[in-house]
Amino acid sequence: MRMWTYVVRRLLLIVPIILGVMTITFVLVSALPLDERFTAYLGVPPKGQSYAPTLAPGQGVCPANATQNCSNPYYHYALNKLGLNQGVWVQWGVWMYNSLTFNWGHVGNASDVVETVYPEAKGLPVTEVLGWFLPYTLELAALSLAIIMAVGIPLGNLSAVYRNRPVDQASRVMSFSGFALPTFLLGSLVLAAVLIGLGSLNGYHSYFCSTGTTFQDFTGSWPPAYCYASPDPTNLGYPSWLTAGYISHPTGFPTIDALIHGQWSLAGDTILRMILPALIIAYGTIALLLRFVRNSMLEVMNLDFVRTARAKGVPERTVVRRHAGRNSLNVTITVLGLTFASFVGGFPVVEYLFNLRGVGQLLAYSVITPIDIGLIFGTTLLFTFLVVGANLIVDVLYAYLDPRVRLG
């Protein structure tokens, strides 16, 4: 099979997965109360109106002298709009159409998201709000992935080569403890350690912010306003080129934008603030990669061509790196896709703890009652797309590296 045929076939396999995930979200949403669904997917009703099925006399369109409750036209409009007055297949069809056209509803105006953290997001389309926060999450994901690969692959090779020796045992204990330590606990411990360390070393001044004295100085995506040389009271602590507080221009990626604007220190600060969270995310998922690299290395190390290379007198270092390492790379790449799926789950906790402006933080605040349906399901779909996309890239890469996959 040619490479592009394989890619097309792999792309076609995604279609049922996307449709299936949307169907699952449809089933879950169908379980929720009607008025919450109306608010989430049709927006807040105009002033004085409501989505209640019937109106008491004097309420909305119902005349004050009515003898009984009137039916609410808004309710019927909403029912019709979501297809809820028709069969379940029509409802499903409307849901699928809306999901596929990125019509993912609106941010509500009662949840913690708009009450405490992002008042600007109130009533806006979910896709737009997610669009503001996605770039930061992607940068965090890229940094975590880089750390995982930089540490996991050499460590896995090392523990395969020195099998059952102290190096192997130590690396396994370390990676297992990453599995066993909940992200929320590890994050809190790291924060405590940083707090104690900074507090005792230089009088609570963080290195991010030379004038800062509090906890917020080393959490958050950007330094607070008073860390700037000339604090601007109108900006809420965000770099001046961020309009409306959150929407960043021109690319949306905070580091790249800071570089474009020539603010080197800000770019450095953004990355510096990302390192601890990225380390925590990486630590939680490195065990998976480590275990697979170790096992695939162990299998490859016993194959004939490795013995041949050794017999030829190739130095052991080269055998490990060039002969065995290259051949166990295939498995490694497959596992990276899996790793991506499992570390996406760490974002809500880490972004919540470190107060980072990413999609995970949106999710963390939207699941607290009163929940924000639009954001919850929007985030679910978005993260699923990320994982499916990562798996696609991994599979194509795998097929490119190993011709047996596309030929066989």
Partner 1 sequence: MSTPEPAAPDVYETSTRGPSFRQRMAPRIAQSKRTWYFLRRNGLAMAGLIILLLIAAVAIYALSTPLSYQYMTEYCATNGATCLVSPSVCTYPQGTVAPGPGCYQTPADFPSVIAPTWASLTQPGPLPLGSLSVDPPIQYFYNTYDGLLRGSDWSMLISLTIVGAGATIGLFLGAVSGYMGGVVDEGLMRLVDIFLSIPQLLFVIVVVTVLITLLPTSGTDFAAHIYLLIGGFLVTWWPFYARLVRGQVLVVREQKYVEAARASGASRGRIILRHIVPNSVYPVFIQMSLDVGTIPIIIGTIVFLGIRIFPSTYLPEWGTIAALSVFDLSAFWNSCQIAACVIPWWQLLFPGLALFLFAISVNFLADGLRDALDPRLRR
Nearer to partner 1, 180 or 275 (CB): 180
Nearer to partner 1, 139 or 351 (CB): 351
Nearer to partner 1, 239 or 277 (CB): 277
109 touches partner 1 (CB under 8 A): no
32 touches partner 1 (CB under 8 A): yes
- In the complex, the smallest distance separating the C-beta of residue 110 from partner 1, rounded to whole angstroms, is 13
Window 211 to 240, contacts with partner 1 (CB under 8 A):
214-216, 219
Distance separating alpha carbons of residues 136 and 222, to the nearest angstrom: 11
- In the complex, the smallest distance separating the C-beta of residue 163 from partner 1, rounded to whole angstroms, is 10
- In the complex, the smallest distance separating the C-beta of residue 297 from partner 1, rounded to whole angstroms, is 12
- In the complex, the smallest distance separating the C-beta of residue 38 from partner 1, rounded to whole angstroms, is 15
Distance separating alpha carbons of residues 111 and 367, to the nearest angstrom: 8
Nearer to partner 1, 67 or 369 (CB): 369
Of positions 71, 210, 308, 342, contacts partner 1 by CB under 8 A: 342
Of positions 53, 131, 154, 345, contacts partner 1 by CB under 8 A: 345
Q: Which residues lie closer than 8 Å to 113 by C-beta, 6 or more apart?
A: 107, 121, 362, 365, 366, 372, 375
Distance separating alpha carbons of residues 173 and 167, to the nearest angstrom: 10
Nearer to partner 1, 42 or 181 (CB): 181
Beta bridge partners of 8: none
At position 19, the amino acid (one-letter code) is L
Distance separating alpha carbons of residues 133 and 357, to the nearest angstrom: 6
205 touches partner 1 (CB under 8 A): no
Beta bridge partners of 248: 242
- The closest alpha carbon to 39, from 106, 85, 86, belongs to 106
Of positions 8, 24, 201, 401, contacts partner 1 by CB under 8 A: 24
Cis before 239? omega within 30: no
How far is residue 87 CA from its own chain's centroid? 35
DSSP one-letter string for 38-60: HHHHH-SPPTT----SEE-TTST
Of positions 28, 100, 201, 401, contacts partner 1 by CB under 8 A: 28
- In the complex, the smallest distance separating the C-beta of residue 81 from partner 1, rounded to whole angstroms, is 22
11 touches partner 1 (CB under 8 A): no
Q: Count Cβ atoms within 10 A of the Cβ of residue 21 and give its class: 0-12 exposed, 13-18 middle, 19 or more buried.
A: middle
Nearer to partner 1, 212 or 239 (CB): 212
How far is residue 227 CA from its own chain's centroid? 28
306 touches partner 1 (CB under 8 A): no
**354 phi and psi, to 5 degrees?**
-95, 5
* Span of 37-45, 145-153, 265-273, 367-375 interacting with partner 1 by CB under 8 A: 367-375
Distance separating alpha carbons of residues 76 and 130, to the nearest angstrom: 30
Binding mask 151-190 for partner 1 (x = CB under 8 A): ------------------x--xx--xx-xxxxxxx-xxx-
- In the complex, the smallest distance separating the C-beta of residue 41 from partner 1, rounded to whole angstroms, is 15
Distance from the first to the final alpha carbon of the chain: 8
DSSP one-letter string for 321-372: IIIIHHHHHHHHHHHHHHHHHHHHTTHHHHHHHTT--SHHHHHHHHTSSSP-
Residues 360/376, Cβ–Cβ less than 8 Å: no
127 touches partner 1 (CB under 8 A): no
- In the complex, the smallest distance separating the C-beta of residue 21 from partner 1, rounded to whole angstroms, is 6
Of positions 137, 159, 248, 379, contacts partner 1 by CB under 8 A: 379
Nearer to partner 1, 127 or 361 (CB): 361
- In the complex, the smallest distance separating the C-beta of residue 387 from partner 1, rounded to whole angstroms, is 6
At position 25, the amino acid (one-letter code) is T
Residues contributing to the site for partner 1 (CB under 8 A): 16-17, 20-21, 23-24, 28-29, 31-33, 169, 172-173, 176-177, 179-185, 187-189, 191-192, 195-196, 199, 204, 214-216, 219, 295, 298-299, 302, 341-342, 344-346, 348-349, 352-353, 363-364, 367-369, 371, 376-377, 379-380, 383-384, 387-388, 391
